[in-house]
């Protein structure tokens, strides 16, 4: 482990501590802006818990920053299918998030069948699926199946979008 | 016994069956656990009968445990900490060609422990309820604080990160309109947030999206291989060596599960150590001793049954799956807590009856089907994780048909990713979301009763006892380190005050070459 | 010059390997055995484990030929792997096993064999599992 790598690692974790601190401050500011009319029935009021929560967040962010500075760094969560010997793969992650966002942008316009198909196909491709035809067939089957399954089985009507006359 | 009548209707049997199949499948599949499965199914259960859905969840809960032990034995990939111990001896047995026996002792042991555990649940839960009904708001509040503190500070490896996670969870629980004063908290004038964050969205985001993104970023690419197995079976000698560990494991597992601290790690470990000590073949331990599979597996399942005690009797979940199940009850407008037994006896007893049935189904299905489950592991990863994202989106969207929910799903999903990335435990967060609002309610009731006197908090003897316990739990590590320092060992008291686990070592990344690599690359990109 | 054979533990793979050994012995060239998995599954039976590797090694040395085993656990799929090695080694022959597949199956799953046949720049010898006629 080189000094440089550790220093960088520290900086990322400090950023996370800063995030915690910001959330804590937001909770505090939000609570302080609540209007409270004192009543015998509700002595604690709506402010008390938010103050406690912001306290927990701020204190833990400071404590986290201190431990990180002392070199006590986080270990990523292990899992059955997680390979921590590899670096976080942003080339998989960012497109995946992009596809998710694309889906939520077009779901109402294009309808679930189309947006769902695109999402599954895109996600599987990002994750390394290379059998195009098979992937497309699975995507379509899942999207169509869930659309009709929800409609017929649960009575939930997912948006049909531009295909609304067809489906 | 009305419970059995309710649970044995054809439709509920079908749901129990679906539950155990699904549960075993998700237990076997890499990357999916029972908590994620239940979270993903939440949206589907809106139209369902509450008892049917709960019966299915119970099947998933027990089935997931079973599936998890199958993969730890065959592949040495324990999906959760509770099956780590099973993997030690179980995988060694499989390598020595005794996979069938290892699977059999795990399955039958799970059945025995699950059945005894559920029977204990039936006897213990009403007693707890009887005791709990007499408790007032101060004691409840204290119990909830205890549950949060133990889950946060005792179970995790890093206390600071545990508390950070708890704080985030509580903050999420705050969002929405305060039920007493009608004030909006943390909504930022954003209309969809006024009703609070949908627990379905939060659960799906944390368990499904966060996990799927985390796995996607660290996708394993080298395949392992299973050891080919026939149907599980055991010889006479195996039975002889297994039945005592099963019973002892159950005895360890249930009480630990039933405590508000929960957790299956401690009892499985204790069971393993005990079996090693009592065994007539201690030399076999570490090379595939059947006792080392039988005991911990039984302890794991008994603790799962035990966990349901505080959940049903007090409305207090202590593990992720129980937390999501409780969220389901709240979603259905059912008030969890000691009155559950009184208000919804049909539901509770149908659930308990279904636990017995589910356990039996698991044994019947899994003894012959074990080789088939191993086939599930051949699903290509791209399809598996794309599927999780797909169903998570579908589920969260179908709740309200609002695109805003999808944005929340993504944001909280990214938070879930960050939790895993920065080593924050997930459980405190999800318990914070669920228990936070409940605890606030009890806190307010307490002060209402005491007319604003702070002393109201410790107006009940049980509450006092619990606060003392919490103090001991929090201060114990500090005390230990102070004593250690007095003895002259190097550990600094400040380190303990900061709360970080000394066992984790000062420089954990040294143990894992390459891990720092990942972070440094992430850092580079973050900077650019 | 070399011969490249795609090997997986299956009847088709065995048939291909057997024939490849024969060819290598006849023309006295080096045999490269390629066993690969894309590594997108948790469990892949097509990849040989340590025990099978040693058995394979023993079998090839018993056959008295010059050989080399390429075992890839991740990255490219089998067809790419075989084509890449064949090109790099200027192979004179590629030997592969063919499994039965319906037209629909081939449409959905794609066919490694087809890609090798179409893209290879040397002769390709393909075998079916059973040849008992």
pLDDT in tens, A80-121: 677 777 777 888 899 999 999 999 999 999 999 999 999 999
Interface contact A82, partner C, CB < 8 A? no
Structural contact between residues C38 and C76, judged by C-beta atoms closer than 8 angstroms: yes
The alpha carbon of residue B125 is apart from the nearest alpha carbon of chain C, in Å, by: 41
C132 pLDDT band (50/70/90 cuts)?
low
Q: Do A134 and C40 touch (CB under 8 A)?
A: no
Sort out which chain C residues have CB atoms less than 8 A from B218's CB and list them. none
Measured between CA atoms, the residue of chain B closest to residue A147 is B394
How many interface pairs between B and C have CB atoms less than 8 angstroms apart? 46
Sort out which chain B residues have CB atoms less than 8 A from A146's CB and list them. 391, 394
Interface contact A81, partner C, CB < 8 A? yes
Domain assignment present for residue C4? The answer is no
Q: Do B377 and C37 touch (CB under 8 A)?
A: no
Instruction: Name which of B225, B380, B385 to mutate to probe chain C: the one with the most chain C Cβ atoms within 10 A of its Cβ.
Output: B225
Please give the tally of structural domains in chain C. 1
Of A130, A133, A137, the CB nearest to C77: A130
Helix then strand count (H, E) for chain A reads: 5, 0
Specify the pLDDT at position A56.
95
- Please, what's the b/e burial string for B381-417 (b: 16 or more CB within 10 A of its CB; e: otherwise)? bbbbbbbbbbbbbbbbbbbeeebebbebbbebbbbbb
Residue numbers in chain A where pLDDT is lower than 50:
1
Specify the pLDDT at position B390.
94
Q: Do A8 and B31 touch (CB under 8 A)?
A: no
pLDDT tens readout for residues B452-496: 788 888 888 888 988 998 888 888 877 887 887 777 544 444 444
Domain assignment present for residue C97? The answer is yes
Domain assignment present for residue C3? The answer is no
Sort out which chain B residues have CB atoms less than 8 A from C78's CB and list them. none
- Which whole-number Å values give the CA distances from B352 to B114, B215, B315, in the listed order? 11, 35, 15
Residue C27 pLDDT > 60:
yes
- Which whole-number Å values give the CA distances from B209 to B69, B385, B388, in the listed order? 24, 10, 8
What ipTM did this prediction achieve? 0.92
d(CA B426, CA B320): 8
- Which whole-number Å values give the CA distances from B302 to A165, B270, B305, in the listed order? 54, 13, 5
Sort out which chain B residues have CB atoms less than 8 A from C39's CB and list them. 220-223
The packing angle between helices B84-95 and B99-133, to 10°, is: 160
Picking from B401, B367, B274, B319, the residue whose alpha carbon sits closest to that of residue B61 is: B319
Q: Do C44 and B379 touch (CB under 8 A)?
A: no
Q: Do B221 and C47 touch (CB under 8 A)?
A: no
Sort out which chain B residues have CB atoms less than 8 A from C74's CB and list them. 221-222
Residue numbers in chain B where pLDDT is lower than 50:
489-528
The alpha carbon of residue B270 is apart from the nearest alpha carbon of chain A, in Å, by: 23
Domain ranges within chain A, ordered by starting residue:
3-69, 90-163
Sort out which chain B residues have CB atoms less than 8 A from C72's CB and list them. none
CA angle, B129 as apex, B128 and B131 as ends, to 5°?
Answer: 65
Pair of tokens at residue C36: 């690969």
Domain assignment present for residue C133? The answer is no
Find the CATH number of the domain harbouring C21: 3.40.50.620
Specify the pLDDT at position B226.
66
Specify the pLDDT at position B512.
36
Subunits close to C (at least 3 CB pairs below 8 A): A, B
Sort out which chain A residues have CB atoms less than 8 A from C107's CB and list them. 133
* Distant-in-sequence, close-in-space partners of B479: CB < 8 Å, separation ≥ 6: none
Domain assignment present for residue C54? The answer is yes
Domain of C43 in residue numbering reads as 13-79+88-127
Interface contact A83, partner C, CB < 8 A? no
Q: Do A128 and B219 touch (CB under 8 A)?
A: yes
Domain assignment present for residue C69? The answer is yes
């Amino acid at each position: 482990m080189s000094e440089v790598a550790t220093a960088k690692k520290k900086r990322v974790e400090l950023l996370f501590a800063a995030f915690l601190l910001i959330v804590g401050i937001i909770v505090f500011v939000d609570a302080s802006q609540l209007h409270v009319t004192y009543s015998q029935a509700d002595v604690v009021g709506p402010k008390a818990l938010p103050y406690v929560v912001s306290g927990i967040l701020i204190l833990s962010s400071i404590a986290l920053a201190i431990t990180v500075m002392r070199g006590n760094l986080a270990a990523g969560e292990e899992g059955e299918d997680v390979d921590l010997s590899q670096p976080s793969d942003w080339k998989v992650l960012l497109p995946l998030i992009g596809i998710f966002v694309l889906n939520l942008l077009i779901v109402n316009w294009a309808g679930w069948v189309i947006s769902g198909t695109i999402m599954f196909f895109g996600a599987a491709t990002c994750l390394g699926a290379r059998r195009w035809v098979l992937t497309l067939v699975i995507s379509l089957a899942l999207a169509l199946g869930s659309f009709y399954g929800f409609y017929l089985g649960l009575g939930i009507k997912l948006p049909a979008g531009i295909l609304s006359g067809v489906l | 016994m009305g419970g059995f009548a309710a649970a044995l209707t054809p439709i509920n049997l079908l749901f129990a069956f679906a539950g155990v199949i699904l549960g075993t499948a998700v237990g076997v599949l890499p990357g999916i656990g029972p908590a994620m499965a239940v979270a993903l199914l939440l949206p589907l259960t809106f139209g369902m009968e509450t008892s049917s859905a709960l019966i299915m969840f119970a099947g998933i809960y027990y089935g997931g445990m079973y599936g998890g032990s199958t993969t730890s034995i065959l592949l040495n990939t324990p999906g959760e900490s509770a099956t780590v111990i099973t993997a030690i001896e179980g995988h060694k047995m499989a390598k020595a060609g005794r996979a069938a026996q290892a699977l059999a002792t795990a399955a039958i042991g799970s059945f025995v422990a699950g059945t005894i555990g559920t029977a204990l649940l039936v006897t213990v839960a009403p007693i707890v309820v009887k005791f709990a009904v007499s408790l007032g708001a101060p004691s409840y509040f204290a119990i909830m604080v205890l549950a949060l503190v133990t889950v946060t500070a005792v179970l995790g490896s890093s206390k600071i990160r545990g508390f950070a996670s708890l704080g985030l969870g509580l903050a999420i629980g705050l969002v929405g309109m305060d039920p007493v004063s009608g004030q909006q908290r943390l909504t930022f004038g954003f209309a969809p947030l006024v009703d609070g964050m949908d627990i379905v969205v939060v659960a799906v985001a944390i368990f499904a999206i966060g996990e799927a993104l985390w796995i996607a970023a660290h996708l394993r690419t080298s395949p392992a291989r299973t050891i080919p197995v026939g149907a599980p079976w055991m010889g006479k000698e195996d039975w002889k060596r297994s039945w005592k560990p099963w019973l002892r494991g159950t005895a360890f597992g249930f009480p630990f599960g039933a405590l508000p601290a929960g957790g299956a790690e401690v009892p499985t470990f204790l069971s393993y150590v005990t079996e090693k000590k009592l065994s007539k073949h201690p030399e076999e331990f570490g090379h595939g001793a059947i006792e080392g599979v039988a005991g911990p597996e039984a302890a794991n399942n008994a603790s799962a049954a035990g966990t349901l005690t505080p959940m049903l009797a007090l409305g207090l979940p202590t593990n992720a799956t129980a937390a999501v199940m409780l969220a389901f009850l709240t979603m259905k407008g059912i008030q969890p807590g000691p009155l559950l037994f009184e208000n919804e006896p049909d539901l509770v007893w149908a659930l308990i009856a279904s636990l017995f049935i589910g356990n039996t189904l698991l044994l019947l299905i899994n003894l012959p089907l074990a080789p088939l489950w191993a086939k599930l592991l051949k699903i290509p990863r791209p399809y598996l994780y794309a599927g999780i994202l797909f169903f998570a989106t579908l589920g969260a969207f179908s709740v309200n048909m609002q695109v805003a929910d999808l944005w929340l799903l993504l944001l909280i999903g990214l938070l879930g990713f960050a939790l895993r990335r920065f080593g924050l435990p997930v459980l405190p967060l999800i318990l914070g979301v669920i228990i936070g609002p409940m605890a606030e309610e009890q806190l307010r009731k307490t002060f209402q009763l005491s007319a604003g006197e702070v002393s109201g908090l410790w107006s009940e003897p049980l509450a006092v006892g619990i606060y003392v316990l919490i103090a001991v739990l929090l201060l114990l590590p500090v005390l230990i380190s102070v004593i250690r320092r007095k003895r002259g060992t190097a550990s600094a008291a400040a380190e303990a005050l900061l709360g970080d686990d000394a066992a984790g070592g000062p420089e954990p990344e040294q143990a894992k070459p390459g891990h720092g690599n990942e972070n440094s690359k992430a850092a580079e990109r973050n900077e650019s | 010059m070399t011969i490249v054979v795609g090997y997986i533990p299956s009847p088709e793979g065995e048939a291909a390997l057997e024939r490849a050994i024969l060819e290598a012995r006849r023309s006295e060239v080096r045999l490269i055995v390629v066993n690969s998995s894309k590594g997108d599954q948790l469990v892949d039976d097509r990849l040989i484990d340590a025990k099978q590797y040693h058995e394979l090694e023993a079998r090839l040395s018993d056959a008295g030929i010059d050989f080399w085993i390429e075992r890839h656990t991740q990255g490219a799929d089998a067809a790419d792997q075989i084509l890449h090695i064949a090109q790099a080694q200027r192979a004179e022959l590629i030997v592969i096993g063919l499994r039965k597949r319906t037209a629909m199956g081939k449409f959905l799953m794609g066919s490694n064999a087809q890609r090798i046949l179409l893209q290879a720049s040397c002769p390709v010898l393909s075998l079916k599992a059973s040849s008992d006629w």
